[in-house]
Amino acid sequence: MLIRNLSFLLILASGLSHAMSTENLSETTLKTYGQSLAAAAGSSQWQQLWQRTRAAGYFNQDGAQARFTLPMKLIPELVSSTLRDAHSVQPDKGTQALYRRDFAPRVVGTEGPQALTAICLNVDWRSLPEHTPATDSGQMGSVSLLLVQPCQ
- Residue 51: give the domain boundaries: 2-151
DSSP 62-118: SSSS-EE-S-GGGHHHHHHHHHHS-SEEEEETTTEEEEEEE-TTS--EEETTEEE-E
Question: Which percentage of the chain shows pLDDT scores above 90?
Answer: 78
Total domains, the chain: 1
Looking at residue 85, its pLDDT comes to 98
* pTM of the predicted structure, to 2 decimals: 0.87
Q: What values do phi and psi take at 134, rounded to 5? A: -60, -25
